[in-house]
Amino acid sequence: MAFGTSREDKEADARRLAALSDKRRLALEGARIEANRQAAIDLPIGQAVAAKEERQGFFEIQLQVGFSQRDPMPFGATAVPKDVRTQSHAGTLAAIEAIGWKLEHVGYVFVVTGENSRANFLVSGQNVAVSGETVGIYLFRNTDPA
């Protein structure tokens, strides 16, 4: 054998390397499973499942249902939308109800995310355009009382 390494030593090294590879593979698999679980909890349905497992009586979720960005117009004209988007969360709400929650109450709020203003030309005052998002607040009741 070259360099004074016996066949048994080489086989032992190979076994240690294989065992290390198995441990590393198991650690990576465990990390992947945990990352997937964490990603699911970040989603509304994952949060609903976690709340159900904790036997909570109520579950609240806030979802963006609309977004509007506006720019002020010169000469006192009405601000026109620069970007307007809406979203439907019907599938998400149905999935939450399917796992044992009942939608009890819904409310909507407009959250201001920014304002742009411009002085009016030849008249006094300001022209202000408000941008923001509409958020739906959904309250569910657990259908399986604790």
Q: What is the CA radius of gyration of the chain?
A: 29
Has residue 104 been placed in a domain? yes
Q: What is the pLDDT of residues 45-95, one digit of tens each?
A: 989 988 998 999 999 999 999 888 877 666 555 555 666 777 788 999 999
Do 75 and 29 lie in a common domain?
no
Asked if 65 and 21 sit in the same domain, the reply is no
Q: Which residues contact 75 (CB under 8 A, 6 or more apart)?
A: 120, 121, 122
Q: Which of 122, 132, 125, 59 is closest to 95 using CA atoms?
A: 59
**Structural domains in the chain (count):** 2
The reply to whether the predicted model has a pTM over 0.75 is: no
Calculate the CA 105 to chain-centre distance. 21
Residue 45 included in any domain: no
How far is it, in rounded angstroms, from Cα 39 to Cα 79? 39
Domain hosting residue 104, numbered range:
57-142
Examine residue 83 and state whether it is found in any structural domain, yes or no: yes
* Cβ within 8 Å of residue 99, ≥6 positions away: 45, 48, 49, 52
Domain membership flag for residue 51: no
The answer on 31 and 61 residing in a single domain is no
**80 or 34: which carries more pLDDT confidence?**
34
In tens, the pLDDT along 119-131 reads: 666 666 677 778 8
